[in-house]
Structure 1
Amino acid sequence: MSDTTVLIALGLGSNIGDGHAAVRAAADALARGGVADLALSPLYATSPIGPPDQPDYTNAAATGRTALSPRAVLDLCKRIERDMGRPPGGVRWGPRPIDIDILLYGDLSVNEPDLMIPHPELGNRLFALVPLLAVAPDWPMPAPRGGSVRAFAAPRIIALRDSGQIIRKIY
């Protein structure tokens, strides 16, 4: 842990059990684990990506400040997922009680086999873009993207909606 803090954005999702409660419980666990000044976007219902015949997701984005390193944030997210009943491994894009992804970590770009920041699929996922835009529209995007979250997200949201991805605000 360092003496300085950095702004981070996380994506949260659940489609097993009570999604509202799971997202809120994960946000509380993040706050207890070292993410301060946590702000949670509205909750959204989104259709799943991946295997058919699974329930819709409840998704949100959370922002906050942390002195944890990117690796420590990843470890915290994985620990919370395990504690909330998500088994390690599992079906890619399959149903899960909670999923927590690091979307942004300050202006840092990380490209490691098990840790990529910004999240490599951020621009392709309506369920991540819309909540992030709701909670952090003016945040800067790391290089080489640059610009704000709003400038990054707006054209992509239009294209993703046109492609058939569905999202609706639920709370």
Structure 2
Amino acid sequence: MKELILLLGSNLGAREEYLSSAREMISCSLCNILASSSVYKSEAFGYQSDNGYLNQVVVGLCDVEAELVLKKIHEIEDVLGRVRKAGVRFSDRTIDIDILYYGDMILNSPELTIPHPQIDKRLFVLEPLSELFPYKKDPRTGKKIQEMVNSLRKC
């Protein structure tokens, strides 16, 4: 069993309900959630939007292949009304679920990168992550989560 750390985000509709539904669906179809961060508010990242995001980190233990984790996450997003537009990377969404870490795995494939490649550049990821794992070291950079938070806050 590996520790699976996910980021949930929502900026459309009943945002808190989407986060709750995502947690429930993850627990039922992927892994039992052992801990959840508080819910954090943030602005849209990478595009302009009038809708603010709610973000939360959840952690569970999982024993399936990383590619199957991604497939299950996409199924959950689809059920919760996530719309993907061809060629559009950032847009408003009912739910977004990102794999941040999967144990100490380092994976770089066309479909999936673990750890998430932008963790160290996104305070909306690092803040809820540091609530649960301030001393966790990123397997790619060796930096502790709290160090990454402190670096971004200085900017």
% identical equivalent positions: 33
1:154 equivalenced with 2:146 (yes/no):
yes
1:9-48 aligned at under 5 Å gives the runs 9-48=5-44
- In the aligned structure 1, how far is the partner of 2:108 from the partner of 2:138? 15
Does 2:136 correspond to 1:139?
yes
Q: Alpha-carbon deviation of 1:63?
A: 0.5
Number of residue pairs the alignment of both structures matches = 154
Query: Aligned equivalents of 1:132 and 1:83: distance in 2?
Result: 25
What is the rounded CA distance, in whole Å, between the counterparts of 1:138 and 1:70 in structure 2? 24
Amino acid at match of 2:152: L
Residues 1:65 and 2:61 aligned together: yes
* Cα distance in 2 between the residues matched to 1:92 and 1:70: 21
SS at match of 2:12: coil
Q: Under a length normalisation based on structure 2, what TM-score does the superposition of the two structures give? A: 0.91
Residue matched to 1:168: none
**1: CA distance, partners of 2:133 / 2:42:** 20
Runs of 4+ in 1 over 6 A off after TM superposition: none
Q: Give the equivalent residue in structure 2 for 1:82.
A: 78
Q: CA deviation at 1:162?
A: 4.2
- 1:49 counterpart = 2:45: yes
Q: Deviation of residue 19 (structure 1)?
A: 1.4
Deviation at 1:38, TM superposition (A): 3.0
Evaluate the alpha carbon distance shift between residue 129 and residue 23 of structure 1 in structure 2; reply closer, same or farther with a 3 A threshold.
Answer: same
Distance 1:45 1:125 in 2: 13
Structure 2 unaligned residues grouped into runs of 5+: none
CA-based RMSD of the aligned residues comes to 1.6
1:68 aligned counterpart, secondary structure = coil
In structure 2, C-alpha distance between the alignment counterparts of 1:141 and 1:70, rounded to whole Å: 17
Counterpart of 1:166 in structure 2 is none
Inter-partner Cα distance in structure 2 for 1:58 and 1:39 = 17
For 1:112, give the aligned amino acid: S
For 1:94 and 1:37, how far apart are their aligned partners in 2?
A: 27
Q: Cα deviation per residue 1:11-45 (whole Å; 9 max; x = unaligned)?
A: 11000012111111101110001212431110000
- Note the alpha carbon deviations across 1:38-62, whole angstroms, 9 max, x for none: 3111000001112223311000000
Compared with structure 1, are the counterparts of its residues 145 and 159 closer, same or farther at alpha carbon in structure 2 (3 Å cutoff)? closer
Quick check: 2:135–2:144 contact (8 Å CA) kept in 1?
Answer: no
